[in-house]
Structure 1
Amino acid sequence: MSTFAGMPNTTTSKDQTTAFPGTVELFEVTDDQRLPCMLSGDQDAFLAVVFVGGLTDGMGSVSYAPKLSELAERQKFTLVQPHWSSAYEGYGLGSLQRDCVEIEACIKHLRLKGKKKIVLMGHSTGCQISIQYLLTKQAQTPVNGAILQASCSDREAFAEEGHVRVAKSAKEIHDKCFPNGLTAEDREEKRGELWDCMPRELAKEFGLTYMTWYRAWSLLCVGCLFAFSGDDDYFSSDIPIHADASSPEQRPLIETFGNLPRDIPMLFAFSGADEYFPFSQGVTPEGNFAKWKQAAAEGMKRDEDEVRMQMTVVPGASHSVKQSEAQVVLMKAVGDFLREKL
């Protein structure tokens, strides 16, 4: 099976606890759809952390989930792990847009249960979901903070792992069906061949049986400002802060990070040995974060030191933080952020 950003090996070592107590309950997305979520830690707390994993992850699958639940118990917050339709292999037929609709439903459910403060925590592609949520759902169903762990680019990770053929095929389908780019209506109504499943031999590149052209194109292609291309492309290191004359349609950071809510505290927790981060290309977490914060400051019309974004790098941590020592460091960073910023 191929591996890529968002598809970490979440297997824990033998000395790590993989079971923890919790309660499963249902939240309503539509009249016809209810999904489960697991609550653990201090279930009566007024603060909840809603955790969303990456591609192929699901409820409890990320290696540090037990440690996060233990932190919730110690620090008196509720850890909420919702199931979403794109969990496990479902991402091949999904989108960030659908993910946010379902996460919003979970957050509404928690508000009705009396949760006063809610923090959205994403791992890997859960980071893209978190950014998308802040850009599209925050005004209607707000959260009080966000933690993004292992935010990196699927486009860059795939480029290093030989998925160029899939990207080229997906782009050909897009350009043939939508030579002038997608409209919001095309995407909302899923019009055209882009939402058909690709041949199975191509889906196998993702370790899947079924995957739409749209999802492959969204993961692999450059994010564009006007054509709704590369919807997942938030974190690539080559995205400029402002529109670039050499690629005027590329969606710049000022259009994404520059539109983040003004007063939401955010923690970016990078993995120091992330196998899907482009360290080999000379890219650094510090460099990426500096551009994101600059774009946010310009968009908010604030000085950078007034922007409520901070970062940390967990030394020696893999993408999904499988190492026990690194998990301890990550939990301290998460605990400090929740205690000091919320």
Structure 2
Amino acid sequence: MNLSGTLSVYNPQTRLTMFESGPQNSRGSVVFVGGLLDGYNALPYLPLLGKYLEEQLNFSLIQVMLTSSHMGYGISSLQEDVRELDILFTFLREERAKTRLFFIGHSTGCQDAISFASHGRNRSNIQGMVLQGPVSDREFMISSLDDMYGKYVRLAQRMINDGKGQELMVREVDVAPVTAYRFNSLASVGGDDDMFSSDIPFESMQALFGQVKTPLIMVHSGKDEYIPSHINKEQLISNLTNASPSSLGAVVLPEADHAISDLASQTTFCEAVVQFIQRVMFTLEQEEKEQQRVFEGLSI
């Protein structure tokens, strides 16, 4: 199954593009933002998701290219992602007349979703968010880098203290060029990217997710290879869900890996996304009807 659609420039200054598939004249769209190293068509479930959105909601699927896409994440930041997403959502509202916009973040795209819903100028333009595969980069890096983890964190923090936070670290640190700031953000306790770690105090989680007013669901993979085996996944899922006042619940795909590679889990995921959007849209429509009744009453 392949996706066909239209490539458009949404940011003329930087020539950043978006790829829209499905009914492009629809007022409803889902914006998908991937994780580290991701670009267009990076996730195996995207063609099926596009099919579900078109057939069941008459929505299009929009994939977006950010400066941080592919190998660019190491020299970018969540703040830069939010600035570019603000430009994207302005474009979608003003140039494409989109009135129903939903956000799906995958992996580090989940941090983008939380950041945008907390600080984006156009955060009121999104009606709901799906966080698929929210994981801790820090906990994964601790388990994968072993003894080098502490060495690299100390190097990054030393560079930041010396006023060199935007300079590149040594080449061995990562597959992509990475600044001291971005490595520290991903790897250190309390870094900007540190949102889904199992050891974050519950009160801190509440403070972080309490800024988000947009309805959301989190979708977790039971066999997520980026969550270390010693992590209590059930407790983590419970904490993340309970700390999010705008959460409409969590979905767990028992057999899924981080990217949701198996077809059965992809189907369950797509069904969950459609049901979530339908639920949010029903609530919005009821609120709009009530507002209209109040307006008509005042007019009389």
Is TM more than 0.5 here? yes
- Please show how residues 1-342 of structure 1 align to structure 2 within 5 Å: 17=1, 19-28=2-11, 32-75=13-56, 76-112=58-94, 113-137=96-120, 142-175=125-158, 177-178=160-161, 192-203=163-174, 207-208=175-176, 210-223=177-190, 230-242=191-203, 252-261=204-213, 264-278=214-228, 280-284=229-233, 286-297=234-245, 307-342=246-281
Q: What letter corresponds to residue 309 of structure 1 in structure 2?
A: L
1:11-50 deviations in whole A, cap 9, x for unaligned?
xxxxxx2x2210111112xx63231101111212111110
Query: When you count helix as a share of all residues, which structure comes out higher?
Result: 2
Judged with a 3 Å threshold, the aligned counterparts in structure 2 of structure 1 residues 177 and 198 are, in CA distance, closer, same or farther, namely closer
Given that residues 241 and 291 in structure 1 are in contact (C-alpha distance below 8 angstroms), is that contact kept between their aligned partners in structure 2?
A: yes
Given that residues 92 and 212 in structure 1 are in contact (C-alpha distance below 8 angstroms), is that contact kept between their aligned partners in structure 2?
A: yes
Judged with a 3 Å threshold, the aligned counterparts in structure 2 of structure 1 residues 65 and 140 are, in CA distance, closer, same or farther, namely closer
Identity %: 33
| Cα distance between partner residues in 2 of 1:176 and 1:88 | 25
| Cα distance between partner residues in 2 of 1:56 and 1:163 | 22
Q: Secondary structure at the match of 1:72?
A: helix
Q: Secondary structure at the match of 1:215?
A: helix
Judged with a 3 Å threshold, the aligned counterparts in structure 2 of structure 1 residues 35 and 167 are, in CA distance, closer, same or farther, namely farther
How far did 1:166 drift?
4.3
How far did 1:171 drift?
3.2
Judged with a 3 Å threshold, the aligned counterparts in structure 2 of structure 1 residues 232 and 164 are, in CA distance, closer, same or farther, namely farther
| Cα distance between partner residues in 2 of 1:139 and 1:44 | 21
Structure 2: runs of 5+ lacking an equivalent:
282-300
Judged with a 3 Å threshold, the aligned counterparts in structure 2 of structure 1 residues 77 and 176 are, in CA distance, closer, same or farther, namely closer
TM-score by length of 2: 0.87
Q: Secondary structure at the match of 1:147?
A: strand
Q: Secondary structure at the match of 2:125?
A: coil
Judged with a 3 Å threshold, the aligned counterparts in structure 2 of structure 1 residues 138 and 277 are, in CA distance, closer, same or farther, namely farther
